[in-house]
Copies of this chain bind each other. A is one copy, B any other.
Amino acid sequence: MTIPSMNQQYRLAARPIGMPKPQDWTYAFAPIPELADGEMLVKVLYLSLDPAMRGWMNEGKSYIRPVGIGEVMRAGGAGTVIASRSPRFQVGDTVCGGTGVQQYWAGAADDKTAGFYKVDPASAPLPKYLNALGMPGMTAYFGLLEVGLPKAGETVVVSGAAGAVGQTVGQVAKHKGCRVVGIAGGPEKCDFVVNELGFDACIDYKNGSLKDGLRTHCPAGVDIYFDNVGGEILDTVLTRINLKARIIICGAISQYNNTTPVKGPANYLSLLVNRARMEGIVVFDYADRYQAGVVQMAQWMKEGTFKTREDIVQGLENFPETLLMLFEGKNFGKLILQVAEA
Q: Is the CB of A272 within 8 A of B280?
A: yes
Q: How large is the interface on A (under 10, 10 to 19, 20 to 34, 35 or more residues)?
A: 20 to 34
The answer, yes or no, to whether A173 is at the interface (CB within 8 Å) is no
Residues of chain B lying within 8 A (CB to CB) of residue A265: 264-265, 268
Known: A263-B266, A268-B264. A277 touches B275 (CB 8 A): no
Nearest CB to that of A281 among chain B residues? Answer: B275
Q: Are B279 and A276 in contact, CB atoms less than 8 angstroms apart?
A: yes
Does the CB pair B281–A252 fall under 8 Å?
no
Assembled-state Cα–Cα distance A276/B285 (Å): 12
B264 contacts A266, CB within 8 Å? Answer: yes
Query: Nearest B residue to A261 by beta-carbon distance?
Result: B266
A13-57 vs B, CB cutoff 8 Å, 1 = contact: the mask equals 000000000000000000000000000000000000000000000
Q: Are B271 and A262 in contact (CB under 8 A)?
A: no
B278 in contact with A279 (CB, 8 Å): yes
User: Is A274 on the interface with B (CB-CB < 8 A)?
Assistant: yes
Is A79 at the interface (CB under 8 A from chain B)?
no
Partner of A272, one of B235, B250, B261: B250
Q: Which of B267, B272, B278 contacts A251 (CB 8 A)?
A: B272
Inter-chain contact B271/A249, CB cutoff 8 Å: yes
Q: Which residue of B lies closest to A274 (CB)?
A: B280
Tell me the smallest distance from the CB of A147 to a CB of chain B, in Å. Answer: 9
Distance A61 CA – B279 CA, assembled complex (angstroms) = 24
CB-defined contacts of A266 to chain B, threshold 8 Å: 261-264
**Residues of B close to A275: CB separation below 8 A:** 63, 279-282, 285
Q: A262: which of B250, B261, B269, B285 is its contact (CB, 8 Å)?
A: B269
Interface residues of A in 272-308 (CB under 8 A from B): 272-282, 285
A271 with B278: CB separation less than 8 A: yes
How far apart are A44's CB and chain B's nearest CB, in angstroms?
Answer: 28
The yes or no answer to A259 lying at the interface (CB within 8 A) is: no
- Asked whether A5 is an interface residue with its Cβ less than 8 Å from the other chain, the reply is no
The answer to whether A62 has its CB under 8 Å from any CB of chain B is yes
Interface residues in A57-84 (C-beta closer than 8 Å to B): 61-63
Chain B residues within 8 Å of A278, by CB: 268, 271, 277-279
Q: For the complex formed, measure the closest distance between the CB of A266 and the CB atoms of chain B, giving whole angstroms.
A: 4
Interface residues of A in 212-268 (CB under 8 A from B): 230, 235, 249-252, 255, 261-268
> Closest residue to A275 on the B side, CB-wise?
B280
Task: Give the most central of A61, A272, A274: most B CB within 10 Å.
Answer: A272
Docked CA distance A120–B333 (Å): 66
A249-B268, A266-B264 are contacts. A280–B273 as well, Cβ < 8 Å? yes
A281 lies within 8 A of B272 (CB): yes
Minimum CB–CB distance for A236 against chain B, Å: 12
* Chain B contacts for A269, CB-based, 8 A: 230, 249, 252, 255, 262, 280
Q: How far is the CB of A289 from chain B (nearest CB, A)?
A: 15
For A264, give its contact among B235, B249, B274, B281 (CB under 8 Å): B235
* Extra pairs beyond A264-B265, A271-B280 (14, CB < 8 Å): A249-B269, A261-B266, A264-B264, A264-B266, A264-B268, A265-B268, A270-B280, A273-B282, A275-B279, A275-B280, A275-B281, A275-B282, A276-B279, A276-B280
